[in-house]
Amino acid sequence: MPKSVFVIDDHAVVREGLKAVARRLPGVDICGEASSAEEALESLTALRPDLILLDVELPGLSGLEILPRLARLGRPVVVLSLHDCPNLRHRAMEAGAHAYLVKGNDLDGLLEYMRRALHLPASMDRSPLTDRERDILGLITAGHTSKEIAELRHISYHTVERHRTNMARKLNLSKRSELIRYGLEYLHS
């Protein structure tokens, strides 16, 4: 099921840029956008995004003023600001932000935070998996059992299970089905 992102920023160009960044993540859709706090609050009564990107400086009510209401939705809220100001960062975090990021900083950092907040697996380009783990993951996604993999690779069943456990830990996945989905998406794309 796709993950959804809602973008709140008063500048159309910034909204378009944030939406483009979010779409770089596999399985992410944009469920809506707003140019003001009031518009966002109205839209979010009907939507349940998995992640909210919020500009701190909005016309009318500021991002900091609506942040407590957004935080009550139970979804991660990333506050974005032009200013690397410790006071603003502190106020945002106190009001319920999951992160405070400075616009114009590291794009990879924003992508990584979004990936983690949305519980998406790491891309294979920057995958922490070893070559052996990728090999075993390929066999898992092909439908082989741990016993079959052990026989095919001339290793013990316990070694296969250890690799499976290590992969799930490295990729922050808790279920075997998530590991299989990750393998299908990233090894066979």
Name the residue with higher pLDDT: 65 or 109. 65
Task: Give the model's pLDDT for residue 189.
Answer: 45
Residue 101: alpha-carbon gap to chain centroid: 15
pTM for the model stands at 0.65
Query: Residue 101 — very low, low, confident or very high, per pLDDT cuts 50/70/90?
Result: confident
Give the relative orientation of helices 12-23 and 107-117 as an angle to the nearest 10 degrees: 60
Averaged pLDDT score across all residues of the chain: 86
The fold adopted by the segment(s) 3-117 is Rossmann fold (3.40.50)
Query: Residue 125 — very low, low, confident or very high, per pLDDT cuts 50/70/90?
Result: very low
Give the residue extent of every domain in the chain.
Answer: 3-117, 124-187
- The H or E element that residue 101 is part of is strand 99-102
Question: Tens digits of per-residue pLDDT, 32-75?
Answer: 999 999 999 999 989 999 999 999 999 999 999 999 999 999 89
Residue 24 CB partners (closer than 8 Å, separation 6+): 111
Cα-atom radius of gyration of the chain, to the nearest Å? 20
**For residue 28, is it left (φ>0), alpha (ψ between -120 and 50) or beta?**
beta
Task: Give the model's pLDDT for residue 5.
Answer: 96
Give the C-alpha separation, 22 to 177, whole Å.
Answer: 24
CATH for 124-187 is 1.10.10.10
